[in-house]
A and B are shown apart, each in its own frame.
Chain A
């Protein structure tokens, strides 16, 4: 018999020690991801086979660069949440789960930062 209230007991619990924030942010990034993904696949297909100068010119133009940054930030955040969900489903050992969750966060941030840096470098023409 506990004196804690039901609300106090559930606060901060759940498999990832957090509530519906992940669910909501996954939906938020998926809504943003729809137009940004359409933009990205069209960009990729239209850049196939073009040489470096042409690719840099297109990727470096402000609107394309801004959309690319939005795309990269959206998908790396979205994929970090998504992979966390997969890890929580399939990794049963506490240690392996923790290691995978850390690796997931590191990977997502590294990919996001590297891509964002490359876009900015192309755009600023340094």
Chain B
């Protein structure tokens, strides 16, 4: 190797003032990584369903605890948020929605949409389907 000289670096995260579009970009990556490990839960749940009722009952018990419910709620929110964030990216891929006002609107819609859709889904799940109630 020849000489290595300290080169100027482009400013990184800590230099910039946090902005909603930046936070939603980070949230897209974080929810993606969380969903990656969340697939362990999906696989565990499916394997339990393919096993005997007692094992499935144990998984059901865990999902019914406060921690389990929070994990499930977090998983569904992350999935919906990542999905809406992905739709945003698909819109951008067509060259649309990149203006200052549009990208701000898309960032807000992403956050508002994911929270309200998750709420609606869970309320509908508890009230209409009644699944989240008893066994």
Interface residues of A (CB under 8 A from B): 27, 30-31, 33-34, 37-38, 40-42, 44-53, 55-56, 59, 68, 72, 75-76, 79, 82-83, 86, 111, 114-115, 117-119, 121-122
Are A49 and B131 also in contact (CB < 8 A) when A42-B121, A114-B47, A118-B43 are? yes
Q: Which of B10-18, B72-80, B103-111 contacts A (4 or more CB under 8 A)?
A: B72-80
Chain A residues with Cβ under 8 A from B60's Cβ? Answer: 49, 51-52
In angstroms, Cα B36 to Cα A40, docked, is 15
The residue from B46, B90, B132, B134 contacting A31, defined by CB atoms under 8 A apart: B90
The residue from A46, A49, A115 contacting B43, defined by CB atoms under 8 A apart: A115
Interface residues of B in 94-135 (CB under 8 A from A): 121-122, 124-125, 129, 131-135
Interface residues of B (CB under 8 A from A): 29, 32-33, 35-36, 39-40, 42-43, 46-47, 49-50, 52-53, 56-57, 60, 63-64, 72, 76, 79-80, 83, 86-87, 89-90, 93, 121-122, 124-125, 129, 131-135
Question: Given known contacts A30-B90, A72-B42, what 15 new A-B pairs fall within 8 Å (CB)?
Answer: A44-B76, A45-B76, A46-B129, A47-B131, A48-B63, A48-B125, A51-B57, A52-B53, A53-B53, A79-B32, A111-B42, A114-B43, A114-B47, A115-B43, A118-B43
* B79 engages A37 (CB within 8 Å): yes
Top 5 closest pairs, chain A to chain B, by CB: A45-B125, A118-B46, A52-B53, A118-B50, A52-B56
